[in-house]
Structures are given as C-alpha cells and as structure tokens.
Chains A and B, each alone.
Chain A
C-alpha cells in the first residue's frame, strides 16, 4: 500500500518518520527512545518518563499541564515504557485533533509538537535537578505499580514464567524496573541519567496524520531540539538458547482459577526468514478461536475459557496461557502437549492452514487503520534490523506450507511450565 509509506530521515542516531494520510481526524506523534534492557538502567528508565510527564518549566504541575492539553481540544498525552526484546523503550505519545474538523482553525499540530518538546527538553527543575516532590511521588507510584502486578493474575503468571525461564538473561526484567532499586534514586541522579539518555541513545520520532512531511519534520526539529552526541550501538537481542531440560514451577495463591502458562523457545527471531512461518505456527497453535488450543482445550474438553498462545517477537519465545480448575492440571497439560506434538509432526489440516492464513492476513491488514499500530510495525522492523512491508509479509503468509510450519515446530521446545494454583486444592 504505497499510500502508507513513511518519509524517513536519519541523522546522528535521531530518526524522523512521517506518514501523511487523510484517514484520521487526528494527528498522532510518537517518540521512542531505545535503551538496552539492563539491571543498572531499567529502574531509572521506567521512572524517567513518569517524572517528565508530571510537569514542565511552563506547566509546573499535573493540573497545569492537563489544562493546557484540554485547551488543545483534549489532546491525549502519555509517557511510559515498554519492553521490545532486550530493549526498554521510553515512549511519549500525543494525539491531537486536526483543526480541519473544528470550527476553530488554530494550528494545533505546532502547539502539540511544541508541548512535546517542552516535556522532553524543558522539564521542571529545582536547584539543577528534578523537583524532589515529583520524584518522591513518582517513586512511590512506581513501587505501587510493581507491587500491583499481582492484581492481574493472567499478567502476573506470565511475568513469573518469564522470570523463571529467563533467569540468566536480561529479558527476565520487568519494564517497570526493580522495586528494590527505587529508594536509592535521587532527583540529582535521575537528572544526570536524563541528560545521558537524551545524548546517547537512539531516538525515533513518528508523525501520522494529514500533514505535509517537510513541514512536520521542520516542526519537530524546531520544537524538539535534541542534539545526540555519540549515540551508542546497542547489542542485539539474543533469541537462541538451548533448552537443557523442561522445568516445572508450581506456586500457590488464594485464587479461584489456576493459571497454567508454558514458555517455549522457538530459536527464531523477527529478522529470520522463518519468522513469518513462526507467525503461522502460532496462529495454527493458539492465536485464534479456530486454533488447536481453543478447539481442544476449550471447545472439546470444556476445561478452560481461554487457552491461547502468543509470540514474544524479538525474543523468539512462544507463550501458552490458560485458566483452568486446579484439579484439571494433568488433563489440560496432556492436551496441550499433544497439540505441540501434532504441530511437530505437521498434522495440520488444510482447513486449519487456510483459516490461519486468512485470519492472520486480516489481522495484519487491520493494523493499517490504526495510527499507533502502523508506527509500531515500522518500529519493530527497525529494532530487529529487518523491515518488511505489509505486502511482503502477506505474500510470505500466502506461500507458507505445512512443511514450513512443521520445520519451525521442530525448533520449538518447552523451556518452563508455570502453574499458579489455588491454595489448599488438590492437584
């Protein structure tokens, strides 16, 4: 789809990507800063966007800042972190109305970009560091956020599995950082870290909407004056790791439903030729309501409401998740393992193959209607060092055979089985 290609320019570790399109009534701006996922960076990396989004020189507290956004027709702004393989990405997001659809014709895009520039480069300071009160409040909020991970049992089980499975790899780390490190972070240390981040790590800026590329790029350069110097080369995410033996971890919690999660290594990364085949593998196994896991664990055996698999794209992991009665552990595990064996033997019906091709292709085409998803797909390609167009992926999907999927399946091995069971219930 040629109408959806980015106009990109890269210089000194700072890249600008603009996508002009008339599809949306708003303009979306995304700024991504890439940090390696490391124990000594991750906690400050998580705290930094939270502090920056709470106030700037001109809008010194959250109420001020929010009132300004409200006056820009309720522009949506947030900042945070996400994990992409062994990278921690600090992300700033702004979505602002296009004045074409308003009775007021004030040029909102420039106001929006200027605001983002202030958040990034003119933070609220006191005595040459971040404001202590803000840092203290955000330290507490981050602590609570990490402690609150357990509130969502599905996510909690997945994080516990990841920690166990990747205990000697950076991928074990939560994007929110390490709780025990939070108390030691001072406003001064965080400010020094902030300066280091802006100077030394790769930045990607995206603008998607009804904009003129040259003008939008100029606005970014003018209002977000980042001057990186000596941007670091980051190590690639490692996704090849032999499995010595299958591990089983069982934990107890006062829950009504047991969570059976299984982590597998696929030895396949986003840049590999086999990656699209791996997407097909995941689709046939557990990506959709017609997939093997849904059909067999849920529809046939009636053991679960959800039984799915998903890929951790950059890390080459495939994670199975299901919620079951604690007493049904053996039954559910046996059914899941049987599906995995069938995948290895290439026991895939024509119907499964064709349905997966159709739904996976549809899912990918649908991303074209969402500005954030369009940027995300481009960014994933940049992170992995291999960008594929949507057409290229769709073409590879259409050409995938059962043998291709079985070949990928041969490489997939269970690393760790994690079971979160209800307290005092028989297994």
Chain B
C-alpha cells in the first residue's frame, strides 16, 4: 500500500491497485463519525456504443446505464437496501454522463458495509420479470423529470449545444427507449463495464487504512476475474458549432427559467491540462457572473435576476460547456443585457484586482468543500478518471495567472458558440 501526504491540507491518502485491476483509495478523517464509500465504474449515459474485448460492436438503448444502476440493487435473495439498513447504512447510487457510482454512508459496521457494497455490485441478478417491473418505476422517474422545470431547461441547453454527442441524451432515457431494454442487454453492458479494472473504490471517514485495505484485498482475491483488455467506446463525430441557438419549452411555471452559455470547440484535453482549463474557466465565470461582478449588479438593479442566478462549467475530455442563468421575469431582456455587457468585457479583458479576489475566493471554497466526505469521494473519482488528482487542484489554482484567464475569456466567450434555453408557461 502506498501513501501520499498533503501537508498544507493535513490529509494523508492511502492507495493501491489490486491484482484484478481495481484501484482502491482510502482517506482517514480523524474525528468524523461517519464513513462514506463509493464504488464507481467508468460507465455512464454517453457510453451507448461500444465493443467489449472479443465481442461485436453494439449500440444499446438510451438510458441503459441508469437502468442497470437501478437493477443492481436487486439480489436473488432480496433487496440490498435491506442488508445495508440492517447494519445502519444508508445506500444509494447515481448515474452521470460518464460514471455510475454506488455508495453508502454509515457510522457503524463499516467493514461489513464495505463488503456488502463490493459484493452487491459484483453480483448482478436480472430476470425478465424484474426488468419489466423496473420499467414502471423508472417510467415514473422520467415523468417526474418531465415536470421538473429546472431539469428541462438544463437539458434543453445541452441538447441545443450538441448535434450528435450522446451527452445531449437524458440520463434516464425515455419511456420509449427503456421499453427496449432486456436482461440480455443488461448483462452485456454489465460484463463489459463492471470489470474491476474499469472501477475505483474510495473510502473516506472513520477508518483504519491498513485494516480496510486488507479487507478489500481479501474480498477481491476471493473472486475469479480474468484480465480484461481495454473496452473500445465509440462516439459520433461532433461538429464544433452549436446545434441550435435557442429553444423554448412550455410548462406551468410561476416564473420563466432561462439558461444560456457557450459550447467549447476544443475537446480532447486530459490530465492537468483539463483541470487547468476547468479552474481557469471557473475563475472566469466567477469574475463575470458572481454577485461581486458589475454585470450581476446591473442585472440585479434591473430586476432581471434573483438569488438563484449562477454560472457553472462542465469540462470533460469529450465535451465542455458553461451553463449560466436562473429564474427571470424576462428571458430576452436578460440575454440581451448579458450579451452587450460581455462584449465590453471581451474588448477590455479581466482586471488584476477581480482576478486576485476570485482566486482567493476559490481557495476558501475548496477548503470548505473538503469538509464534505461526499465531495471528496465523488470529486476524487471524477478527477482520477480524468487522469488527475483532486488534491493537486489547490496547487493548480495557485498557479493560474491573469493571462490564463484572459486567454480563456477569448476562447470560451465566443458568441458563435452561444445558445439559450427557456422554460416558460404557455400563458406568458
């Protein structure tokens, strides 16, 4: 087992890669009551076309990664929630564009719960009957999101950005697409993506790292896994341009919702370059849109935004975009004011003072985030899958310069790459 010490953060990380390829990370948190563990596969909603080693290339129905996540909780001898509950753990899972994570938190019986987590994820049990039953449940999950204005305006914008890339597809799929899911397809996806060499286990909290690593090692050694060659994943050709400049959806809402932003042209960054771009973009968006910005003040004075106004960036190797906005009484006025103001900022660039202030703020923000074991486990895994280290983020942040941010301003704030998504009630 190896260790890595982060002096300034006062954290020590323990890690190892097991013989079957599984990466295991353990971060003890002295003084914490709870332990939080995630078991994550590099497999999400965008991985809908692939070729497993020695098999045919296939395209699978939209929403299958999320469907598989639901079905993993069913065991031949009952429901795994019950097993966790009996040992005081609350379990959950989530599927994102590029990951599926299974997790629990508990303040007791941690060793037992870690074993349960490993065992249920490594033991699928799909039947025709239990697959059919799940279609009703996920159908209602999809319906719930159909009524969720914030979700609709968010996915509306991503769908505006992308012509072909599957990031535009709803993670849960549609009632129609999930109707095509069978137990055979689920097994095929499972066998391809749930091999230990495609997965990462992160345990953070009230644990002894040596004992925990030994337990995981023993558990894994008892399961016969053959070595797996890399999985081939296929993604469609994506033009640089946005697919659509503007979309409007009608739902019964009390106040219209408006999100807008820019699609990155440049894809394919990994490792430190990717984090550097992410951090520079976050600082940029903070300077442009946070409550301390001139633009925010103007929008507030004009009554065009409320407390929920925000700006975020998602940057992954294959795609990158910003999502800015919130509730507004007048989406068109909001967008036009933002456009004209951003054009001024583009002309003059970001100033030193705002840059320094924002960097300071981001430093404090990162420290605060490290209070959360959930943040640590989930972000560490995301960064690791992107080929980099969450805890090195502090150093990268320290190294970002005003020039980096201004270069990023010119690159990202490109109105050819701009799009707007609106949800409003039909009466308006």
Contact = CB atoms under 8 A, between A and B. Distances in A.
Contact of B88 (A74, A133, A359): A359
B292 A23 contact: no
A150 B251 CA distance: 11
A151 interface: yes
14 contacts: A63-B294, A97-B363, A101-B9, A150-B253, A153-B148, A288-B81, A303-B140, A305-B143, A358-B86, A358-B108, A359-B90, A366-B107, A368-B34, A369-B32
Interface stretch (B239-247, B316-324, B353-361): B353-361
A351 B86 contact: yes
B367 A26 contact: yes
Interface string A122-154: 000000000001000100110011111111111
A152 B148 CA distance: 7
Contact of B357 (A71, A102, A366): A71
B335 to A, nearest CB: 18
A302 B255 CA distance: 33
Contact of A25 (B33, B300, B367, B426): B367
B177 interface: no
Contacts, number: 205
B303 A257 contact: no
B12 interface: no
B299 to A, nearest CB: 10
A112 to B, nearest CB: 11
Contacts of A70: 290, 292, 357-358, 360-361
Interface in A193-229: none
Interface string A293-313: 001001100111110000000
B82 A355 contact: yes
A91 interface: no
Given A355-B82, A359-B88, A302 B136 contact: yes
Interface of A: 1, 21-26, 61-63, 65-67, 69-76, 95-97, 101-103, 133, 137, 140-141, 144-154, 253-257, 288-290, 295, 298-299, 302-306, 323-325, 351, 354-356, 358-359, 361-363, 365-366, 368-369, 371
B399 interface: no
Contacts of A290: 79, 81-82, 85
Interface of B: 8-10, 31-34, 79, 81-82, 84-91, 105-108, 133-138, 140-141, 143-144, 146-150, 251-255, 257, 290-294, 296-297, 300-301, 303, 306-307, 327, 329, 357-358, 360-365, 367-368, 370-371, 373, 426
Nearest to A354: B86
Contacts of A146: 254
Contacts of B254: 144, 146-151
Contacts of A358: 85-89, 108
A385 B79 CA distance: 41
B107 A362 contact: yes
Contacts of A74: 360-365, 368
Contact of B290 (A66, A137, A359, A371): A66
Given A137-B301, A303-B136, 9 more contacts: A22-B31, A63-B291, A70-B292, A70-B360, A102-B364, A146-B254, A304-B137, A306-B140, A362-B107
Contacts of B327: 144, 148, 151
**Cβ-closest 7 pairs across A and B:** A73-B364, A74-B361, A302-B136, A74-B364, A147-B254, A66-B292, A355-B85
Contacts of A306: 140, 144
Contacts of A356: 85
Contacts of B363: 73-74, 97, 102
A336 B41 CA distance: 36
A366 B33 contact: yes
Contact of B371 (A25, A67, A71, A149): A25
Given A73-B363, A74-B364, A361-B88, A21 B31 contact: yes
B86 A299 contact: no
Contacts of B140: 257, 303-306, 323-325
Interface centre among B89, B91, B291, B297 (most CB of A within 10 A): B291
Nearest to B398: A103
A359 B357 contact: no
Contacts of B373: 369
A141 B307 contact: yes
A256 B143 contact: yes
Contacts of A299: 79, 137
Contact of A148 (B135, B251, B253): B253
Contact of A144 (B32, B329, B360): B329
Contacts of A65: 291
A146 B255 CA distance: 10
A308 to B, nearest CB: 13
Interface centre among B89, B106, B135 (most CB of A within 10 A): B106
A166 B174 CA distance: 39
B32 A25 contact: no
Given A61-B297, A74-B361, A363-B90, A147 B255 contact: yes
A366 B374 CA distance: 12
A103 B135 CA distance: 54
Contacts of B370: 25
A359 B365 contact: no
Contacts of A305: 137-138, 140-141, 143-144
A145 B306 contact: yes
B338 to A, nearest CB: 16
B238 to A, nearest CB: 30
Contacts of A141: 303, 306-307
Contacts of A325: 140, 143
B252 A253 contact: yes
B294 A366 contact: no
Contacts of A304: 137, 140
B89 A362 contact: yes
Given A144-B306, A358-B87, A151 B360 contact: no
A289 B78 CA distance: 13
B333 to A, nearest CB: 14
Given A22-B31, A369-B34, A369-B373, A73 B306 contact: no
A67 B303 contact: no
